[in-house]
Amino acid sequence: MSDYQKLVQHSKKLANFNHLAAISGWDQAAVMPAGGNEARSNAMAELSVLIHQLSTEPQLADWFAGAEQETLTSQQQASLREMKQRWQQATVLPEKLVQAKSLAGMKCEHAWRTQRKENDWQGFAKNWQQVVTLSQEEAQIRAENLGTTPYDAMLSLYEPGTTTDSLDNVFNDVKTWLPSLVDQVIEKQRQESFIQPQGPFATSQQKALGLKVMEFLQFDFNHGRLDESVHPFCGGVPTDVRLTTRYDENDLVQSLMGTIHETGHARYEQGLPTDLAGLPVGEARSMGIHESQSLFFEMQLGRSPEFISHLSSMAQQEFQANSNPAFSAENFQKLYTRVEKGFIRVDADELTYPAHVILRYEIERDLMNGNISFNDVPELWDQKMQQYLGLTTQGNFKNGCMQDIHWTDGTFGYFPSYTLGAMYAAQFMASMKKTVDVESAIRSGDLSPIFNWLSANIWSKGSTLNTDDLVKQATGETLNTKHFKAHLETRYLG
Protein backbone atom coordinates (compact mmCIF):
# COMPACT_ATOMS: atom_id res chain seq x y z
CA MET A 1 0.00 0.00 0.00
CA SER A 2 1.39 3.40 -0.99
CA ASP A 3 1.78 6.20 1.53
CA TYR A 4 -1.00 8.12 -0.23
CA GLN A 5 -3.34 5.12 0.11
CA LYS A 6 -2.45 4.87 3.81
CA LEU A 7 -3.43 8.53 4.23
CA VAL A 8 -6.74 7.93 2.43
CA GLN A 9 -7.51 4.94 4.67
CA HIS A 10 -6.64 6.97 7.76
CA SER A 11 -8.76 9.90 6.59
CA LYS A 12 -11.81 7.69 6.15
CA LYS A 13 -11.32 6.30 9.65
CA LEU A 14 -11.25 9.87 11.00
CA ALA A 15 -14.37 10.69 8.99
CA ASN A 16 -16.25 7.89 10.76
CA PHE A 17 -15.40 9.31 14.18
CA ASN A 18 -16.32 12.82 13.02
CA HIS A 19 -19.61 11.37 11.77
CA LEU A 20 -20.38 10.14 15.29
CA ALA A 21 -19.35 13.48 16.80
CA ALA A 22 -21.64 15.35 14.40
CA ILE A 23 -24.69 13.23 15.17
CA SER A 24 -24.00 13.40 18.91
CA GLY A 25 -23.76 17.18 18.65
CA TRP A 26 -27.07 17.35 16.79
CA ASP A 27 -28.71 15.15 19.41
CA GLN A 28 -27.37 17.38 22.21
CA ALA A 29 -28.83 20.49 20.58
CA ALA A 30 -32.11 19.06 19.32
CA VAL A 31 -33.49 16.24 21.48
CA MET A 32 -31.25 15.46 24.47
CA PRO A 33 -32.85 16.14 27.88
CA ALA A 34 -31.12 18.91 29.83
CA GLY A 35 -30.07 16.49 32.55
CA GLY A 36 -27.87 14.60 30.13
CA ASN A 37 -25.63 17.55 29.33
CA GLU A 38 -22.78 16.88 31.78
CA ALA A 39 -22.33 13.25 30.78
CA ARG A 40 -22.71 14.09 27.10
CA SER A 41 -20.18 16.91 27.35
CA ASN A 42 -17.65 14.59 28.96
CA ALA A 43 -18.25 11.93 26.30
CA MET A 44 -17.90 14.43 23.45
CA ALA A 45 -14.75 15.93 24.99
CA GLU A 46 -13.29 12.42 25.20
CA LEU A 47 -14.23 11.84 21.57
CA SER A 48 -12.63 15.15 20.54
CA VAL A 49 -9.40 14.05 22.23
CA LEU A 50 -9.53 10.69 20.45
CA ILE A 51 -10.06 12.43 17.11
CA HIS A 52 -7.18 14.77 17.89
CA GLN A 53 -4.92 11.83 18.76
CA LEU A 54 -5.80 10.09 15.50
CA SER A 55 -5.23 13.35 13.60
CA THR A 56 -1.74 13.73 15.03
CA GLU A 57 -0.38 10.17 14.99
CA PRO A 58 3.44 10.23 14.57
CA GLN A 59 3.51 8.08 11.42
CA LEU A 60 1.46 10.64 9.50
CA ALA A 61 4.52 12.87 9.03
CA ASP A 62 6.33 10.02 7.25
CA TRP A 63 3.27 9.19 5.15
CA PHE A 64 2.92 12.79 3.99
CA ALA A 65 6.62 12.97 3.15
CA GLY A 66 6.34 9.73 1.20
CA ALA A 67 3.11 10.65 -0.59
CA GLU A 68 4.63 13.91 -1.80
CA GLN A 69 7.23 11.88 -3.70
CA GLU A 70 4.64 9.66 -5.42
CA THR A 71 3.14 10.19 -8.87
CA LEU A 72 -0.44 11.36 -8.23
CA THR A 73 -3.32 12.50 -10.41
CA SER A 74 -4.45 16.13 -10.12
CA GLN A 75 -7.38 15.03 -7.99
CA GLN A 76 -5.10 13.03 -5.70
CA GLN A 77 -2.78 16.02 -5.42
CA ALA A 78 -5.74 18.16 -4.33
CA SER A 79 -6.72 15.45 -1.86
CA LEU A 80 -3.19 15.31 -0.46
CA ARG A 81 -3.16 19.11 -0.12
CA GLU A 82 -6.40 19.13 1.88
CA MET A 83 -5.36 16.21 4.11
CA LYS A 84 -2.02 17.84 4.85
CA GLN A 85 -3.68 21.14 5.72
CA ARG A 86 -6.00 19.36 8.19
CA TRP A 87 -3.02 17.52 9.67
CA GLN A 88 -1.04 20.72 10.11
CA GLN A 89 -4.00 22.42 11.77
CA ALA A 90 -4.33 19.51 14.21
CA THR A 91 -0.69 18.89 15.06
CA VAL A 92 -0.05 22.46 16.12
CA LEU A 93 -2.38 22.22 19.14
CA PRO A 94 -1.54 20.38 22.39
CA GLU A 95 -4.02 17.71 23.41
CA LYS A 96 -4.76 19.35 26.77
CA LEU A 97 -5.84 22.56 25.03
CA VAL A 98 -8.18 20.67 22.68
CA GLN A 99 -9.85 18.94 25.62
CA ALA A 100 -10.03 22.07 27.78
CA LYS A 101 -11.57 24.14 25.00
CA SER A 102 -14.12 21.44 24.21
CA LEU A 103 -15.25 21.21 27.85
CA ALA A 104 -15.29 24.99 28.36
CA GLY A 105 -17.26 25.50 25.16
CA MET A 106 -19.91 22.92 25.96
CA LYS A 107 -20.30 24.26 29.50
CA CYS A 108 -20.60 27.84 28.26
CA GLU A 109 -23.02 26.97 25.44
CA HIS A 110 -25.32 24.92 27.68
CA ALA A 111 -25.50 27.62 30.36
CA TRP A 112 -25.98 30.32 27.68
CA ARG A 113 -29.34 28.82 26.75
CA THR A 114 -30.71 29.89 30.11
CA GLN A 115 -28.51 32.91 30.74
CA ARG A 116 -29.50 34.59 27.50
CA LYS A 117 -33.19 34.35 28.36
CA GLU A 118 -32.44 35.91 31.74
CA ASN A 119 -30.21 38.66 30.27
CA ASP A 120 -27.51 37.42 32.64
CA TRP A 121 -24.26 38.88 31.29
CA GLN A 122 -22.39 38.43 34.57
CA GLY A 123 -23.22 34.73 34.74
CA PHE A 124 -22.39 34.24 31.08
CA ALA A 125 -19.11 36.17 31.34
CA LYS A 126 -17.79 33.82 34.04
CA ASN A 127 -17.94 30.89 31.61
CA TRP A 128 -17.12 32.88 28.52
CA GLN A 129 -13.92 34.30 29.96
CA GLN A 130 -12.41 30.82 29.93
CA VAL A 131 -13.59 30.18 26.38
CA VAL A 132 -12.01 33.46 25.22
CA THR A 133 -8.76 32.76 27.08
CA LEU A 134 -8.43 29.29 25.57
CA SER A 135 -9.35 30.59 22.12
CA GLN A 136 -6.72 33.32 22.38
CA GLU A 137 -4.19 30.66 23.36
CA GLU A 138 -5.20 28.60 20.33
CA ALA A 139 -5.04 31.65 18.06
CA GLN A 140 -1.55 32.54 19.28
CA ILE A 141 -0.25 29.01 18.74
CA ARG A 142 -1.72 28.86 15.25
CA ALA A 143 -0.41 32.35 14.41
CA GLU A 144 3.15 31.43 15.39
CA ASN A 145 2.93 28.33 13.23
CA LEU A 146 1.54 30.17 10.18
CA GLY A 147 3.38 33.46 10.61
CA THR A 148 0.16 35.48 10.70
CA THR A 149 -1.85 37.52 13.20
CA PRO A 150 -3.84 35.48 15.73
CA TYR A 151 -7.16 36.39 14.11
CA ASP A 152 -5.95 35.50 10.62
CA ALA A 153 -4.90 32.13 11.98
CA MET A 154 -8.43 31.50 13.27
CA LEU A 155 -9.94 32.85 10.06
CA SER A 156 -7.99 30.26 8.07
CA LEU A 157 -9.96 27.49 9.77
CA TYR A 158 -13.16 28.69 8.09
CA GLU A 159 -11.98 30.77 5.13
CA PRO A 160 -8.65 29.38 3.86
CA GLY A 161 -6.82 32.05 1.91
CA THR A 162 -8.81 34.96 3.34
CA THR A 163 -7.02 37.56 5.46
CA THR A 164 -7.94 40.50 7.66
CA ASP A 165 -6.56 42.86 5.01
CA SER A 166 -8.86 41.45 2.34
CA LEU A 167 -11.87 41.51 4.67
CA ASP A 168 -11.14 45.06 5.76
CA ASN A 169 -11.07 46.12 2.10
CA VAL A 170 -14.38 44.40 1.36
CA PHE A 171 -16.18 45.54 4.50
CA ASN A 172 -14.85 49.09 4.41
CA ASP A 173 -16.24 49.38 0.89
CA VAL A 174 -19.63 48.08 2.05
CA LYS A 175 -19.68 50.63 4.88
CA THR A 176 -19.35 53.47 2.34
CA TRP A 177 -22.67 52.68 0.63
CA LEU A 178 -24.73 50.37 2.84
CA PRO A 179 -25.97 52.86 5.51
CA SER A 180 -27.30 55.31 2.95
CA LEU A 181 -28.90 52.51 0.91
CA VAL A 182 -30.65 51.18 4.04
CA ASP A 183 -32.01 54.64 4.85
CA GLN A 184 -33.10 55.17 1.24
CA VAL A 185 -35.01 51.89 1.13
CA ILE A 186 -36.64 52.42 4.52
CA GLU A 187 -37.84 55.83 3.36
CA LYS A 188 -39.19 54.32 0.12
CA GLN A 189 -41.02 51.56 2.01
CA ARG A 190 -42.71 54.04 4.34
CA GLN A 191 -45.14 54.68 1.50
CA GLU A 192 -46.02 50.99 1.20
CA SER A 193 -48.76 49.29 3.17
CA PHE A 194 -48.55 45.63 4.16
CA ILE A 195 -50.42 43.20 6.38
CA GLN A 196 -48.74 41.19 9.10
CA PRO A 197 -50.28 37.67 9.23
CA GLN A 198 -51.97 37.22 12.59
CA GLY A 199 -51.30 34.02 14.54
CA PRO A 200 -51.29 31.83 16.35
CA PHE A 201 -49.74 29.49 13.79
CA ALA A 202 -49.49 26.00 15.26
CA THR A 203 -45.97 24.61 15.29
CA SER A 204 -47.24 21.38 13.73
CA GLN A 205 -48.63 23.30 10.76
CA GLN A 206 -45.49 25.40 10.40
CA LYS A 207 -43.42 22.23 10.31
CA ALA A 208 -45.75 20.64 7.75
CA LEU A 209 -45.41 23.73 5.56
CA GLY A 210 -41.64 23.71 5.98
CA LEU A 211 -41.48 20.07 4.90
CA LYS A 212 -43.49 20.87 1.75
CA VAL A 213 -41.13 23.71 0.91
CA MET A 214 -38.11 21.43 1.48
CA GLU A 215 -39.67 18.92 -0.91
CA PHE A 216 -40.14 21.72 -3.47
CA LEU A 217 -36.43 22.48 -3.01
CA GLN A 218 -35.70 18.80 -3.78
CA PHE A 219 -34.27 17.93 -0.36
CA ASP A 220 -33.54 14.20 -0.10
CA PHE A 221 -35.51 13.00 2.93
CA ASN A 222 -34.00 9.53 2.60
CA HIS A 223 -30.71 11.11 3.69
CA GLY A 224 -31.83 13.78 6.13
CA ARG A 225 -34.48 15.14 8.47
CA LEU A 226 -35.86 18.33 10.02
CA ASP A 227 -36.03 18.97 13.78
CA GLU A 228 -36.27 21.89 16.21
CA SER A 229 -33.56 23.61 18.29
CA VAL A 230 -32.88 26.88 20.09
CA HIS A 231 -30.63 28.05 17.25
CA PRO A 232 -31.25 26.79 13.68
CA PHE A 233 -28.39 24.85 12.13
CA CYS A 234 -27.47 22.20 9.59
CA GLY A 235 -25.33 19.34 10.86
CA GLY A 236 -24.71 15.65 10.42
CA VAL A 237 -22.99 14.28 7.34
CA PRO A 238 -23.89 14.25 3.59
CA THR A 239 -25.64 10.87 3.83
CA ASP A 240 -27.47 11.85 7.05
CA VAL A 241 -28.05 15.61 7.06
CA ARG A 242 -29.68 17.01 10.18
CA LEU A 243 -31.50 20.33 9.83
CA THR A 244 -33.03 22.22 12.70
CA THR A 245 -35.18 25.32 12.77
CA ARG A 246 -37.13 27.19 15.42
CA TYR A 247 -40.79 28.16 15.48
CA ASP A 248 -42.64 31.16 16.84
CA GLU A 249 -46.38 30.58 16.87
CA ASN A 250 -46.91 34.32 16.45
CA ASP A 251 -44.53 34.69 13.51
CA LEU A 252 -44.85 32.43 10.49
CA VAL A 253 -42.57 34.50 8.29
CA GLN A 254 -39.18 34.11 9.99
CA SER A 255 -39.27 30.40 10.78
CA LEU A 256 -40.27 29.52 7.23
CA MET A 257 -37.36 31.40 5.68
CA GLY A 258 -35.05 29.92 8.33
CA THR A 259 -36.01 26.46 7.10
CA ILE A 260 -35.26 27.49 3.50
CA HIS A 261 -31.86 28.82 4.60
CA GLU A 262 -30.88 25.58 6.30
CA THR A 263 -32.15 23.58 3.32
CA GLY A 264 -29.59 25.45 1.19
CA HIS A 265 -26.84 24.21 3.49
CA ALA A 266 -28.29 20.71 3.32
CA ARG A 267 -28.56 20.57 -0.47
CA TYR A 268 -24.89 21.53 -0.70
CA GLU A 269 -23.98 18.71 1.67
CA GLN A 270 -26.15 16.22 -0.21
CA GLY A 271 -24.61 17.36 -3.50
CA LEU A 272 -20.96 16.86 -2.52
CA PRO A 273 -19.02 14.28 -4.59
CA THR A 274 -19.80 10.80 -3.30
CA ASP A 275 -16.64 9.34 -4.83
CA LEU A 276 -14.61 11.55 -2.48
CA ALA A 277 -16.64 10.80 0.66
CA GLY A 278 -14.52 10.48 3.80
CA LEU A 279 -11.81 12.76 2.44
CA PRO A 280 -11.34 16.47 3.19
CA VAL A 281 -11.25 17.13 -0.56
CA GLY A 282 -14.82 15.79 -0.75
CA GLU A 283 -16.11 18.26 1.84
CA ALA A 284 -17.45 21.81 1.46
CA ARG A 285 -14.88 24.32 0.22
CA SER A 286 -15.23 26.89 2.99
CA MET A 287 -17.83 28.34 5.31
CA GLY A 288 -18.21 31.31 2.97
CA ILE A 289 -19.09 28.98 0.10
CA HIS A 290 -21.37 27.03 2.44
CA GLU A 291 -23.16 30.23 3.39
CA SER A 292 -23.36 31.18 -0.27
CA GLN A 293 -25.56 28.14 -0.80
CA SER A 294 -27.88 28.76 2.14
CA LEU A 295 -28.15 32.43 1.18
CA PHE A 296 -28.66 31.56 -2.47
CA PHE A 297 -31.68 29.53 -1.36
CA GLU A 298 -32.94 32.08 1.16
CA MET A 299 -32.15 35.38 -0.53
CA GLN A 300 -31.51 34.92 -4.25
CA LEU A 301 -34.11 32.20 -4.76
CA GLY A 302 -36.42 32.32 -1.74
CA ARG A 303 -37.20 36.03 -1.86
CA SER A 304 -37.69 36.26 -5.61
CA PRO A 305 -41.25 37.16 -6.70
CA GLU A 306 -41.58 33.88 -8.59
CA PHE A 307 -40.64 31.76 -5.58
CA ILE A 308 -42.76 33.77 -3.17
CA SER A 309 -45.76 33.11 -5.41
CA HIS A 310 -45.32 29.39 -4.73
CA LEU A 311 -44.67 30.05 -1.04
CA SER A 312 -47.88 32.05 -0.78
CA SER A 313 -49.94 29.27 -2.38
CA MET A 314 -48.48 26.60 -0.09
CA ALA A 315 -49.07 28.76 3.02
CA GLN A 316 -52.66 29.49 1.95
CA GLN A 317 -53.31 25.79 1.57
CA GLU A 318 -51.70 24.79 4.88
CA PHE A 319 -53.46 27.48 6.93
CA GLN A 320 -56.69 27.52 4.90
CA ALA A 321 -56.16 31.20 4.19
CA ASN A 322 -57.02 31.47 0.48
CA SER A 323 -59.14 34.57 1.03
CA ASN A 324 -56.83 36.16 3.58
CA PRO A 325 -55.06 39.16 1.97
CA ALA A 326 -52.14 38.74 4.41
CA PHE A 327 -51.30 35.49 2.58
CA SER A 328 -51.40 36.94 -0.92
CA ALA A 329 -48.24 36.74 -3.03
CA GLU A 330 -48.09 40.53 -3.22
CA ASN A 331 -48.23 40.88 0.56
CA PHE A 332 -45.72 38.04 1.12
CA GLN A 333 -43.35 39.82 -1.25
CA LYS A 334 -43.57 42.97 0.85
CA LEU A 335 -43.06 41.00 4.07
CA TYR A 336 -39.99 39.19 2.78
CA THR A 337 -38.35 42.31 1.41
CA ARG A 338 -39.21 44.55 4.34
CA VAL A 339 -36.18 46.49 5.60
CA GLU A 340 -35.98 47.44 9.27
CA LYS A 341 -33.14 48.19 11.64
CA GLY A 342 -33.31 45.51 14.32
CA PHE A 343 -31.26 43.95 17.10
CA ILE A 344 -31.24 40.29 16.05
CA ARG A 345 -28.91 39.05 13.33
CA VAL A 346 -30.83 35.87 12.49
CA ASP A 347 -34.03 37.90 12.05
CA ALA A 348 -32.36 40.68 10.05
CA ASP A 349 -33.42 41.48 6.52
CA GLU A 350 -31.11 41.03 3.57
CA LEU A 351 -30.09 44.68 3.49
CA THR A 352 -29.18 45.29 7.13
CA TYR A 353 -27.64 41.85 7.68
CA PRO A 354 -24.10 42.85 6.59
CA ALA A 355 -24.02 45.49 9.32
CA HIS A 356 -24.59 42.77 11.93
CA VAL A 357 -21.74 40.72 10.49
CA ILE A 358 -19.28 43.60 10.19
CA LEU A 359 -19.95 44.51 13.82
CA ARG A 360 -19.13 40.99 14.98
CA TYR A 361 -16.13 40.70 12.72
CA GLU A 362 -14.54 43.87 14.06
CA ILE A 363 -15.08 42.77 17.68
CA GLU A 364 -13.81 39.20 17.31
CA ARG A 365 -10.83 40.39 15.27
CA ASP A 366 -9.72 42.74 18.03
CA LEU A 367 -10.55 40.18 20.74
CA MET A 368 -8.42 37.43 19.21
CA ASN A 369 -5.58 39.87 18.48
CA GLY A 370 -5.56 40.87 22.16
CA ASN A 371 -6.52 44.49 21.54
CA ILE A 372 -9.63 44.31 23.72
CA SER A 373 -10.81 42.27 26.73
CA PHE A 374 -13.89 40.04 26.90
CA ASN A 375 -15.37 42.55 29.35
CA ASP A 376 -15.14 45.30 26.71
CA VAL A 377 -17.53 43.50 24.37
CA PRO A 378 -20.93 44.78 25.64
CA GLU A 379 -19.86 48.42 25.42
CA LEU A 380 -18.23 47.99 22.02
CA TRP A 381 -21.29 46.16 20.77
CA ASP A 382 -23.51 49.05 21.83
CA GLN A 383 -21.20 51.61 20.18
CA LYS A 384 -21.13 49.75 16.88
CA MET A 385 -24.89 49.10 16.89
CA GLN A 386 -25.44 52.82 17.29
CA GLN A 387 -22.90 53.59 14.56
CA TYR A 388 -24.14 51.06 11.98
CA LEU A 389 -27.86 50.72 12.75
CA GLY A 390 -28.74 53.62 15.03
CA LEU A 391 -29.81 51.31 17.88
CA THR A 392 -28.59 50.99 21.45
CA THR A 393 -28.11 47.69 23.30
CA GLN A 394 -27.00 49.21 26.57
CA GLY A 395 -28.03 46.75 29.29
CA ASN A 396 -29.80 44.61 26.68
CA PHE A 397 -27.33 41.73 26.57
CA LYS A 398 -29.73 39.02 25.33
CA ASN A 399 -30.46 41.04 22.20
CA GLY A 400 -26.89 42.30 22.02
CA CYS A 401 -23.64 40.46 22.52
CA MET A 402 -25.28 37.33 23.99
CA GLN A 403 -27.61 36.61 21.08
CA ASP A 404 -25.37 34.26 19.03
CA ILE A 405 -24.28 30.72 19.79
CA HIS A 406 -20.99 30.96 17.85
CA TRP A 407 -18.80 32.62 20.46
CA THR A 408 -19.98 30.33 23.28
CA ASP A 409 -17.73 27.52 22.05
CA GLY A 410 -14.92 29.70 20.71
CA THR A 411 -15.92 29.76 17.06
CA PHE A 412 -13.99 32.94 16.31
CA GLY A 413 -13.34 33.70 12.64
CA TYR A 414 -16.68 32.31 11.45
CA PHE A 415 -18.87 35.42 11.20
CA PRO A 416 -17.33 36.94 8.03
CA SER A 417 -18.53 33.82 6.18
CA TYR A 418 -22.10 35.09 6.29
CA THR A 419 -21.55 38.26 4.29
CA LEU A 420 -18.92 36.67 2.06
CA GLY A 421 -21.59 34.05 1.38
CA ALA A 422 -24.17 36.69 0.44
CA MET A 423 -21.66 38.23 -1.98
CA TYR A 424 -20.78 34.88 -3.55
CA ALA A 425 -24.49 34.04 -3.86
CA ALA A 426 -25.20 37.26 -5.78
CA GLN A 427 -22.26 36.58 -8.06
CA PHE A 428 -23.39 32.98 -8.70
CA MET A 429 -26.90 34.15 -9.57
CA ALA A 430 -25.59 36.82 -11.95
CA SER A 431 -23.48 34.19 -13.70
CA MET A 432 -26.24 31.57 -13.72
CA LYS A 433 -28.66 33.93 -15.44
CA LYS A 434 -26.34 34.06 -18.46
CA THR A 435 -27.20 30.45 -19.31
CA VAL A 436 -30.32 29.59 -17.26
CA ASP A 437 -33.77 31.19 -17.48
CA VAL A 438 -34.07 31.32 -13.71
CA GLU A 439 -37.45 33.09 -13.51
CA SER A 440 -39.11 30.63 -15.91
CA ALA A 441 -37.69 27.66 -14.03
CA ILE A 442 -39.10 28.91 -10.73
CA ARG A 443 -42.49 29.76 -12.25
CA SER A 444 -42.72 26.26 -13.75
CA GLY A 445 -42.27 24.69 -10.31
CA ASP A 446 -39.32 22.59 -11.52
CA LEU A 447 -36.14 24.06 -10.07
CA SER A 448 -33.90 21.42 -11.62
CA PRO A 449 -32.12 23.80 -14.08
CA ILE A 450 -31.05 25.95 -11.12
CA PHE A 451 -29.86 23.02 -9.05
CA ASN A 452 -28.10 21.46 -12.05
CA TRP A 453 -26.02 24.64 -12.43
CA LEU A 454 -25.18 24.68 -8.72
CA SER A 455 -24.31 21.00 -8.79
CA ALA A 456 -22.05 21.31 -11.82
CA ASN A 457 -20.28 24.48 -10.69
CA ILE A 458 -20.25 24.29 -6.87
CA TRP A 459 -21.53 21.15 -5.17
CA SER A 460 -19.73 18.50 -7.22
CA LYS A 461 -16.39 20.29 -6.86
CA GLY A 462 -16.10 19.70 -3.11
CA SER A 463 -12.70 21.11 -2.12
CA THR A 464 -10.84 20.08 -5.26
CA LEU A 465 -10.29 23.79 -6.00
CA ASN A 466 -9.36 26.64 -3.67
CA THR A 467 -12.02 29.28 -3.13
CA ASP A 468 -10.74 31.80 -5.67
CA ASP A 469 -10.39 29.13 -8.36
CA LEU A 470 -13.83 27.69 -7.61
CA VAL A 471 -15.49 31.11 -7.92
CA LYS A 472 -13.47 32.04 -11.01
CA GLN A 473 -14.27 28.76 -12.74
CA ALA A 474 -17.98 29.20 -11.99
CA THR A 475 -18.31 32.91 -12.79
CA GLY A 476 -15.26 33.99 -14.77
CA GLU A 477 -13.84 36.14 -11.97
CA THR A 478 -12.91 36.00 -8.30
CA LEU A 479 -15.10 37.69 -5.69
CA ASN A 480 -16.47 40.95 -7.06
CA THR A 481 -18.66 42.89 -4.63
CA LYS A 482 -20.33 44.86 -7.43
CA HIS A 483 -22.74 41.94 -7.98
CA PHE A 484 -23.95 42.11 -4.39
CA LYS A 485 -24.49 45.86 -4.53
CA ALA A 486 -26.26 45.62 -7.90
CA HIS A 487 -28.53 42.86 -6.58
CA LEU A 488 -29.56 44.92 -3.54
CA GLU A 489 -30.18 48.07 -5.56
CA THR A 490 -32.23 46.18 -8.17
CA ARG A 491 -34.37 44.35 -5.65
CA TYR A 492 -35.00 47.20 -3.24
CA LEU A 493 -34.91 50.31 -5.45
CA GLY A 494 -35.66 48.91 -8.92
Distance CA 411, CA 158 (A): 9
**Residue 439: what pLDDT?**
97
At 202, is the pLDDT very low, low, confident or very high (cuts 50, 70, 90)? very high
**Residue 231: what pLDDT?**
77
Distance CA 17, CA 363 (A): 34
Distance CA 340, CA 438 (A): 28
Percentage of the chain with pLDDT > 70? 100
Radius of gyration of the chain (CA): 22
| Backbone phi, psi, residue 135, to 5° | -70, -40
262 belongs to the catalytic site:
yes
**What is the domain partition of the chain in residue ranges?**
3-147, 203-338+433-463
Across the range 291-306, mean pLDDT stands at: 97
Across the range 405-431, mean pLDDT stands at: 97
**Residue 363: what pLDDT?**
98
Helix (H) or strand (E) holding 243, with range, is: strand 240-245
Across the range 158-181, mean pLDDT stands at: 95
Residue 230, pLDDT above cutoff 90: no
Residue 162, pLDDT above cutoff 90: yes
Burial of 167 (0-12, 13-18, 19+ CB in 10 A): buried
Whole-structure pTM value? 0.92
Distance CA 161, CA 384 (A): 27
DSSP conformational letter for 300? I
Catalytic residue among 262, 291, 298, 350: 262
- Chain mean pLDDT for the chain: 96
**Residue 232: what pLDDT?**
86
Percentage of the chain with pLDDT > 90? 93
User: 320: left (phi > 0), else alpha (psi -120 to 50), else beta?
Assistant: left
Q: Using one digit for the tens of pLDDT, what is the confidence trace for 357-397?
A: 999 999 999 999 999 999 999 999 999 999 999 999 999 99
127: Cα separation from own chain's centroid: 24
Q: Using one digit for the tens of pLDDT, what is the confidence trace for 440-491?
A: 999 999 999 999 999 999 999 999 999 999 999 999 999 999 999 999 999 9
Q: Using one digit for the tens of pLDDT, what is the confidence trace for 345-361?
A: 988 999 999 999 999 99
Residue 91, pLDDT above cutoff 80: yes
Residue 254, pLDDT above cutoff 90: no
